Amino acid sequence: MKRLLSTIAIIIAFSAAYAQDTHDIICLRTGFNLARHISDAKASSKIKFGINAGLTVDFEIFNNFFARPGIMFSMKGARYDEFETVENLNYFELPLLVAYKINITNNIVADFQTGAFLAGGAFGKVKRHEPQYKEFRAFKRYNNDEYRRFDIGWNFGVGVILKKHYYFGFGYDLSLRLLHERDYMTWHQKNGCSMINIGYYL
């Protein structure tokens, strides 16, 4: 976790320094998450609402193509009707994306992004209306990780940039790593999260 926080600090400091001489590359973002688990369990998960917030930085690679690293805080997890379970899993994420921008008009730019993300479980709780498992910490239980703390996945997104500053977009995070060790669970779960975002380019 200390290494993750150090990496976040470096990204923010580097972005701020670079932005002194360059305009319209840092985008502050926030929005809503519609998270659930992709699973082969009999009990299917329901959508759990959350929020996300952070920043991305656009570095032009060549004409209309941009590298887009960043740092985000994202609330994921799921709800289950069985035992009235709510799984609150909160992550710091490092998106490592590539974006392509198309000028529609002078004031409207279409924005497409895709790429990997790395995530570290910051904190979270699981609540169940079940006597022996009423509530417990998501990433540490019985001195072992019930949920894997680190995740990796792929992001897809599309949006528009208005008047060079205002961003509106939709995206999806698909985890590629199981939430649990295979020999721990009788079923396999991964995070899946749809996102609705607004942002502002500095």
Query: Residue 180: its pLDDT value, please?
Result: 80
Domain boundaries, the chain: 2-201
Query: Residue 1: its pLDDT value, please?
Result: 54
Amino acid at the residue 65 = F
C-alpha 143 chain-centroid distance: 26
Is the distance from CB of 170 to CB of 198 less than 8 angstroms?
A: no
Amino acid at the residue 161 = I
Backbone angles phi, psi at 23, to 5 degrees: -105, 155
Query: Residue 45: its pLDDT value, please?
Result: 85
Residue 142 reports pLDDT greater than 50: no
Q: Enter the CATH code of domain 2-201.
A: 2.40.160.20
